Structure 1
Amino acid sequence: MITAENLTKRYGGYTAVDDVTFEVRPGTVTGFLGPNGAGKSTCMRMMCGLTPPTAGATTVLGKPYAALPNPGRHVGVLLDASAQHTGRTGREVLTLGAMVMGLDRSRVDEMLDLVGLTESESGRRIGNYSLGMRQRLGIAHALLGDPQVLILDEPANGLDPAGIRWMRGLLRGYADEGGTVLLSSHLLHEIEVVADELVVIGRGRIVAQGSKAELMASSGTTVRTTDDAAFAGRLQEAGLQVTAAPSGLLVQAEPLQIGTLAATHGVVLVELKEAGSAGLEEMFLQLTADDAREEVAA
């Protein structure tokens, strides 16, 4: 279990995290979503005791991180895969971690095998690793102590599509066995397929949170017709919110209401379905538009 209660961090007159409250339950993967600079990493650093909060508090397994005995045996953390000693080999990094945590050296071989780093790769200096290899090593280090909780900040950066699929399967299996996972990303699709719960943050404040099913159910309906532009006008006349989707229109209404309106006006429907991930992405972009570098169309 991870809890954040009224978590706030100010740097002078700038508020990086503003009154954030949420929890991450055992047996779930919680996706922590937001644009770059939204406050995700600052929240995670406060959870791990690396950045003191201005106000509020966080606990992991019911205690502040600093109060956990031998914390690596309870919480696995990956905040920055590039922040590893470039002069050491991957095996040396894991061996040192095992020594600090009081683990048997055999655990190092288990983790190298788990994350797919070969004997040759583990013997290379980290300065010669690709970003994807550093991510795999970072995940191995996070899992080294067989922790109950994982806190991972952008772990998919640098991984190829096969690596991302591998990571998703690994984390899904970890949660299914009762583990607690907090997984941050600025890209919705990276974690949509693995997350059970979502927390969306923008400008340091939570703008949406809940189960993935709940948020996807509230994300609208996708509709395609033989004349989308004309039907968009009809929908707007009916007081419905309409935006252009990758294929058709995204409407904030139930499919039955849209289908009834189409029948009333003799509109030929090509597709009508709950928006699902497309609507969730659109909702994410709209909710975090003020914090994004790119403009979001209204």
Structure 2
Amino acid sequence: MIEVKNLSKRYGDFVAVDDVSFTCKPGRVTGFLGPNGAGKSTTMRIITGLTPAGAGTATINGVAYHDIPNPSTHVGVLLDASAQHAGRTGAEILRLSAMTIGAPLSRVDEALAMVSLTQEEASRRVRNYSLGMRQRLGIANALIGDPQVLILDEPANGLDPAGIHWMRTLLREYADRGGAVLLSSHLLHEIEIIADDLVVIGHGRIVAQGTKEELLAGTGAVVRGADRNHLGTALQASGVAFHDRQDGGFAVEQTPEVVGKIALDAGVHLVELRGGDGARLEEMFLQLTQQTQREQPSTQGVQ
């Protein structure tokens, strides 16, 4: 389990991480989301002992990373797939890792099989690898010590659709066996499919966290009336916010109970009334981080 408590990191006047707290539990995949520069990579570097924290703590199974004996047998880490010796073969890199941590050399072939790298591909020098192959090798290196925790920063970069599906299956099976996975990615659709829990960060601060179901649950109400105009007039008179739906109904920013009473008081016959549709992860992400996005549409020249 990963526990981050009140973590902060400052570079001069710039606050990269500001009082961040969250937990990544065994048997679950935690998606770590945020715009570029939000503090994701800094947080992961602090968790893995590469960057000292300014304040707060980050522990793995109750111990700081630099205090874990032979940490690669407890924690598998992939923060940068390009940070591999370009002149060595994939198999050499894995053998060196296995010897360094005391893992049996048979683990090399097992790790290659887990990430679907063939023996022929493993015999090539890394400089001849595609980005997707480097990602697979990096994940194999993270798994070489048979760890209980995986920390992966953008592991799907460079993977084609088949590779992304493979990675999703690998991480899901790993978590289902009791492993804890902390996964940072800008591929929101993949996070939405695989993650159990979500942590959203912006400007170094947590803006939302919880289970995927909690954060993506529907809000408000969906309503349709036999007389659409009469219903719209009643909603407008009540002062609740609402907007049109393509099916002829309205999405209302109120509970179904409140909407039903508005319709009843106005004498509107309803043909549909239910809780709001669940939000898509992209919609939720953009809404929560809209004040922290670097890329904002230009309005220059717009009348």
TM-score (norm 2): 0.85
Q: CA separation of 1:143/1:54 partners in 2, compared to 1, >3 Å: closer, same or farther?
A: same
Deviation string 1:29-57 (CA, Å, 9 cap, x unpaired) is 11111111110000000000000011111
Checking the alignment, whether the CA contact within 8 Å between 1:224 and 1:272 is kept in structure 2 is no
Gaps of 5+ in 1: none
Question: Alpha-carbon deviation of 1:160?
Answer: 1.2
1:159 partner SS: coil
Aligned residues: 295
1:214 partner SS: helix
Checking the alignment, whether the CA contact within 8 Å between 1:33 and 1:187 is kept in structure 2 is no
Question: Alpha-carbon deviation of 1:175?
Answer: 0.9
The one-letter amino acid paired with 1:187 is L
Deviates more, 1:180-189 or 1:4-13: 180-189
Checking the alignment, whether the CA contact within 8 Å between 1:28 and 1:180 is kept in structure 2 is yes
Deviates more, 1:56-65 or 1:261-270: 261-270
Aligned CA-pair RMSD: 3.1
Match of 1:10 in 2: 10
Checking the alignment, whether the CA contact within 8 Å between 2:218 and 2:276 is kept in structure 1 is no
Q: How does 1:139-288 map to 2 (within 5 A)?
A: 139-217=139-217, 219=219, 238-241=238-241, 251-254=252-255, 274-278=276-280, 280-288=281-289
Match of 1:64 in 2: 64
Q: CA separation of 1:12/1:111 partners in 2, compared to 1, >3 Å: closer, same or farther?
A: same
Q: CA separation of 1:262/1:3 partners in 2, compared to 1, >3 Å: closer, same or farther?
A: same
2: CA distance, partners of 1:178 / 1:71: 18
2: CA distance, partners of 1:25 / 1:253: 34
Q: CA separation of 1:276/1:103 partners in 2, compared to 1, >3 Å: closer, same or farther?
A: same
Q: CA separation of 1:101/1:266 partners in 2, compared to 1, >3 Å: closer, same or farther?
A: same
1:276 partner SS: coil
1:284 partner SS: helix
Identity of aligned residues (%): 60
Q: CA separation of 1:219/1:59 partners in 2, compared to 1, >3 Å: closer, same or farther?
A: farther
Deviation string 1:181-213 (CA, Å, 9 cap, x unpaired) is 111123321211111111110110000011111
Q: CA separation of 1:9/1:237 partners in 2, compared to 1, >3 Å: closer, same or farther?
A: farther
TM-score (norm 1): 0.86
Match of 1:293 in 2: 294
The one-letter amino acid paired with 1:123 is S
Checking the alignment, whether the CA contact within 8 Å between 2:256 and 2:273 is kept in structure 1 is no
1: CA distance, partners of 2:42 / 2:3: 15
Question: Alpha-carbon deviation of 1:266?
Answer: 6.5
Q: CA separation of 1:126/1:42 partners in 2, compared to 1, >3 Å: closer, same or farther?
A: same
Checking the alignment, whether the CA contact within 8 Å between 1:78 and 1:155 is kept in structure 2 is yes
Structure number, greater radius of gyration? 2
2:163 partner SS: helix
Match of 2:91 in 1: 91
